[in-house]
Amino acid sequence: MEKYSFMNDYSEGAHQNIIKALGETNLIQENGYSEDKYTQEAVKLIKNRLNSQSSDVHIVSGGTQANLIVISSILRPHEAVVSAGTGHINVHEAGAIEATGHKVCTVNTKDGKLTPEQVQEVLDIHEDEHMVKPKLVYISNSTEIGTVYTKDELDTLNDFCKAKNLYLYMDGARLGSALTSPESDLKFEDLAIHTDVFYIGGTKNGALLGEAIVINKDELKEDFRFHIKQKG
């Protein structure tokens, strides 16, 4: 009898076409640090699919690294990130964000998703210079408990963040699962409009490893490659 494992969605290798392509190009010499032609072609494909040539795309090795680089590059020393209590940065990344000196302000949610009202509650109790200043809202899609954001939910949260001068960042480790869920009406190109930064998870979606960070907000693009190099 064939055995099925539900341990996780990344304990196998990769899609067979990826393995085949690696074998075919293994001895072809290329530049490193994302300057190879394959990465550049991937960047073009992502921008085209997003219908957003103005977005910056950076490839990194994994999800924790993506979260660490993005969040630490955005926040100033006294600023904090708001997350659902179930958020990956809060419970599954060995304190990576806290290790950079930034506090994770958590919200208890029933479905793993954040709403403007919940974020506002965090803002209300961080009023002055005696406390950290919430500056970034972190969400996961799909969430750590399997729920997904609708287009209206994401649009509403994004509008709220803009009104409150906050940045919105989406962890897309399982973005492929979210976008193909029957519960989701989001389209891939919506992400370039309704987030400041997000990443496309490859590790949990058929790749050997790797995530693509997409920066939509112009003011967050400067020197990002320096942040990548500094964080390994």
CATH classification at residue 108:
3.40.640.10
Which string of DSSP letters, residue by residue, matches 31-96?
A: -STT-SHHHHHHHHHHHHHHT-TTSEEEEES-HHHHHHHHHHHH--TTEEEEEETT-HHHHSSTTT
Say what the pTM is: 0.96
Q: Is residue 10 part of a domain?
A: no
CA dihedral 225, 227, 230, 232 (to 10 degrees): -80
Q: Is residue 26 part of a domain?
A: no
Name residue 190's amino acid.
D
The predicted pLDDT at position 1 comes to 78
Q: Which residues contact 85 (CB under 8 A, 6 or more apart)?
A: 91, 106, 107, 108, 109
Cβ 143 vs Cβ 111: under 8 Å:
yes
The predicted pLDDT at position 100 comes to 97
The predicted pLDDT at position 174 comes to 96
CA nearest neighbour of 202 among 61, 23, 69? 61
Residue 27: both structure tokens together: 């001895």
- Beta-bridge partners for 105: 82
The predicted pLDDT at position 5 comes to 78
Q: Is residue 140 part of a domain?
A: yes
**Residue 125 belongs to domain spanning:** 35-230
Q: Is residue 29 part of a domain?
A: no
In tens digits, the chain (232 residues) has pLDDT values of 788 877 777 888 888 999 999 999 999 999 999 999 999 999 999 999 999 999 999 999 999 999 999 999 999 999 999 999 999 999 999 999 999 999 999 999 999 999 999 999 999 999 999 999 999 999 999 999 999 999 999 999 999 999 999 999 999 999 999 999 999 999 999 999 999 999 999 999 889 999 999 999 999 999 999 999 999 8
CA 150 to CA 232: how far, in whole Å? Answer: 34
DSSP helix/strand/coil, 199: strand
CA 211 to CA 59: how far, in whole Å? Answer: 6
99: DSSP letter: G
The predicted pLDDT at position 2 comes to 83
Q: Is residue 1 part of a domain?
A: no
The predicted pLDDT at position 48 comes to 98
Q: Is residue 45 part of a domain?
A: yes
CA nearest neighbour of 88 among 76, 71, 75? 71
Q: Is residue 93 part of a domain?
A: yes
- Structurally, how many domains does the chain consist of? 1
The predicted pLDDT at position 6 comes to 77
Q: Is residue 19 part of a domain?
A: no
